[in-house]
Structure formats: C-alpha cells, structure tokens
Amino acid sequence: MTSPSSTSSSSSSPAAHDELLDLLTPDRRLAGRTAVVTGSSSGIGEAIARVLAASGAHVLVHGRDQARADRVAAVITASGGEASVLTADLAASPESTREFARRVSDMLGGRVDILVNNAGIFPTGPTESLSDETVEALLATNIRVPHQLVAAFAPAMAERGDGAIINITSWMGRVGSPFIALYPATKAALEHLTRAWAAEYGQRGVRVNAVAPGATSTPGNAEAADILAQMTAATPAGRPGRPIDIAWAVRYLASDEAAFVHGTTIDVDGGIVATRMG
C-alpha cells in the first residue's frame, strides 16, 4: 500500500486523487476477510472499498446505481482484488434494509467480517425549508440504516468473537452550523451509537469505531471546490481532504493493528475542529 508519507499532500484535485488510488500497492493484512461498504459506488465509499480490497479483503460494493457500482467492482478485480456488487435503496423501507442484509449474507457465504456504514445524504438549507420527505430520508439513511445493519451483522460477529464495524460520521457533528442543522445531528447520533455499540459488543470481540471526515473533496461536491478551499485554507492541513485520506483510517480500524481500539472516533479533518488559525 502506498503510504501517506510517500505521496504528495499538496493536492486534492480529482486527478491527483485518482492517481493515488491507481497506485495502491497490494498487501495481505485483510486477507481472508469480507467487507461490506455501503455507498461505495463513488467518492469516499469507493476509496474505502478500493483500499480494503487492495489489502486483501473481498469487498461487497453497494450503491443505488448498478453501472456505477459495477465500475468500482471492475476496477478492483482488474487490480487483482475481489469484489461483489449488490445495489439497493437501503432507505426505502426497513424491510429493504433487512432484505439487503439477507442477500449480503448469502453472497458472502454467511460471513461479514467488516462493516463500513458509509452511505449518507447531505441536504442543506434553513430548518424551516426541509420537507417532511427530506427529514425522513435523512433519519432513515444516516441513522436507521446503520442501526439495522449493525443489528443484522454484529450478533454473528459476536458469536464468532471477531469483527470490525466502522461508522463514517462528520466533523460537522461537533460544531453548530447555520442552515445545516439536521445532517450534523444525524452524524452526532451515529458517533454516540459508535460508543454504545462498542460497549454492547466489544467484550464479545467486535470492535466498533468511527472516522469523522473533515471538508472533503468528492465527485458529489465538485461544484463547491472553491468553497471547500476557503473553508480549509486556515487549517493545519491547508487543503480539503481526499477520499483516500478517509480510506486509510478505515483500513487501520478494520485491521489487527487497531486490536486495542474500541469506541473511538478518529478525526480525519485536517485539524478543522481541533484548531482555529484564521
């Protein structure tokens, strides 16, 4: 695996990030393990899927768009990794999430070793402008779905005495921001669930942790590149995050290197929460 120190940290452009993913060097630290990464057909989820696969995990790529998910899986397999694809709208209903979990179990031979709850939505606007449908979608995607997937997969992990769950939260769950109240609240809830699940499952061998990305450049927010640059100019890192920055942290938490790490949230945010320099 190419290490962070061996790559340039001065650029977060899509081209530079794609080059980092294409230069991943295979290793075997996750060999023999299966990983489910929700929302992995692009952006942060794609980077997580590709990094875990480069480290030997068989990754189940999830998204709502078949072509996009197939593309990620094809890139993984072309690089010598293992990947399966399962598309689903997890937020459509509780039953759709349960059906997804059943199908995942069947596809992976009844064993999920690593669960990455990455899928999320990010609507913005004044509190009074959010429709009932938007509120329901936020709560379903960002809280209900991770809760259901942990309920589906953690008991079997606990029975085996081994497993890793990593929740993707957000730096915004730590601060109050105008015109974007509910999204950070859902991420703060997921961070609390991380601690609660660590307490619930940790003594039975399941490690539950979280990664909180900072302002991160992804294909989904490409039109806001100038805003992200302004937001991060005065941080210690001095730039927006890259999806691969998040993926490296997830890989660490999924690996045996993090065997003594339980219930924590790793801030991969360039220092945006911990410091004020501007």
Q: Which are the catalytic amino acids?
A: 183
How many whole angstroms separate alpha carbon 83 and alpha carbon 49? 9
Q: How far apart are the first and last CA of the chain?
A: 35
- b/e code 45-67 from CB counts within 10 Å (16+ = b): bbbbbbbbbbbbbbbbbbbeeee
157 and 163 in contact (C-beta within 8 Å)?
Answer: yes
How many whole angstroms separate alpha carbon 157 and alpha carbon 59? 17
Task: State the Cα angle at 13 between 3 and 28, rounded to 5°.
Answer: 25
Give pairs for 17-21: CB < 8 Å, separation 24+: 17/47, 17/217, 17/242, 17/243, 17/244, 20/242, 20/244, 21/47, 21/50, 21/51, 21/244
Q: What is the DSSP string of 11-43?
A: ---HHHHHHHHHTPPP--TTTT-EEEETT-SSH
How many whole angstroms separate alpha carbon 262 and alpha carbon 147? 18
How many whole angstroms separate alpha carbon 44 and alpha carbon 64? 15
- CA 185 to chain centroid: 17
